């Protein structure tokens, strides 16, 4: 089975722009979660989607949003980018929402200048 | 969200067993105990999880205290490839939300 794929792998944007990141889960997995990793804050939960519905949300401003499509693929969007949004954005998929093991993708490295 | 406490760092020699402790005194009855690890420059990797009973898989073993207030991840024979940050995480059974602490950085010496 193919693993979790994320595109693009690297991205450079300027402040004020918006960005969309994509995640394709493992085939058969219906839950997708997003995480942000920075050296200062570590790994932080952004949100979780299951069956096209947001199930959980972390403590991030409304500039961070996401969605899930009927094929379980997910996108996250960050609007009005700030320098502090520079981070590694990781997506993880699991069979369903709940205490299932999550499989992480390689991440998208976003740099905001 | 229930909290976990882990040592910041541990060292091990190659081919020796490693016991990574985790305290979770505020665990509730429906919290699962998950372990993930993150190798340098990679996303986190699932290791093992359990609820009440000890668990074994090809990667590791998980020993859960009878009162569930602590657990130990056991790597039976550490290899250099096991050098990583290990995270112990409690997950409520109804949510897929992983709350990562700072984890334990494991160094494996040849």
For residue A8, the model assigns a pLDDT of 97
Q: Which residues of chain B have pLDDT under 70?
A: 1-2
Asked if A103 reaches chain B (Cβ–Cβ under 8 Å), the answer is yes
Shortest CA distance from B37: residue in chain A: A104
For residue B94, the model assigns a pLDDT of 73
Residues of A in contact with B92 (CB under 8 A): 99
Half-sphere exposure of B63 (CA within 13 A, CB side): 9
3-state secondary structure of A84: helix
Residues of B in contact with A94 (CB under 8 A): 96
Tell me if B92 sits within 8 A of B28, measured CB to CB: yes
- DSSP letter string, A46-69: EEEEETTEEEEE-S--TTEEEEE-
Q: Write out chain A's pLDDT in tens, 113 residues.
A: 689 999 999 999 999 999 999 999 999 999 999 999 999 888 999 999 999 999 989 999 999 999 999 999 999 999 999 999 999 999 999 998 887 899 999 999 999 99
Q: Which of B42, B46, B94 sits opposite A103 (nearest CB)?
A: B46
For residue B91, the model assigns a pLDDT of 86
For residue B1, the model assigns a pLDDT of 62
3-state SS track over chain B: CCCCECCCEEEEECCCCEEEEEECCCCCCCEEEEEEEECCCCCCEEEEEECCCCEECCCCEEEECCCCCEEEEEECCCCHHHCEEEEEEEEECCCCCCCCCCCEEEEEEC
Asked if A89 reaches chain B (Cβ–Cβ under 8 Å), the answer is no
For residue B2, the model assigns a pLDDT of 64
For residue B97, the model assigns a pLDDT of 80
B24-A103-B46 Cα angle (round to 5):
40
Q: How far apart are CA A27 and CA A24, in angstroms?
A: 9
For residue A100, the model assigns a pLDDT of 86
For residue B6, the model assigns a pLDDT of 95
Tell me if B36 sits within 8 A of B82, measured CB to CB: no
């Amino acid at each position: 089975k193919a693993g979790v794929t994320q595109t693009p792998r690297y991205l450079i944007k300027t402040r004020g722009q918006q960005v969309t990141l994509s995640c394709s889960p493992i085939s058969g997995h219906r839950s997708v979660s997003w995480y942000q990793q920075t050296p200062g804050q570590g790994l932080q939960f952004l949100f979780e989607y299951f069956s096209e519905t947001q199930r959980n949300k972390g403590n991030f401003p409304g500039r961070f949003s996401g969605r899930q499509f009927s094929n379980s693929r997910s996108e996250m969007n960050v609007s009005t980018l700030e320098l502090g949004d520079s981070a590694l954005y990781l997506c993880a998929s699991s069979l369903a929402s709940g205490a299932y093991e999550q499989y992480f993708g390689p991440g998208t490295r976003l740099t905001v200048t | 969200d229930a909290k976990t406490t882990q040592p910041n760092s541990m060292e091990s020699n190659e081919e020796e067993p490693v016991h990574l402790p985790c305290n979770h005194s505020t665990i509730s009855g429906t919290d699962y105990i998950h372990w993930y690890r993150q190798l340098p420059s990679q996303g986190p990797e699932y290791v093992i999880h359990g609820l009440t009973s000890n668990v074994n898989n090809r990667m590791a073993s998980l020993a859960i205290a009878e009162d569930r207030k602590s657990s130990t991840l056991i790597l039976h024979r550490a290899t250099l490839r096991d050098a990583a940050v290990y995270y112990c995480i409690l997950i409520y059974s109804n949510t897929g939300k992983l709350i990562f602490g700072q984890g334990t950085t494991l160094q494996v010496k040849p």
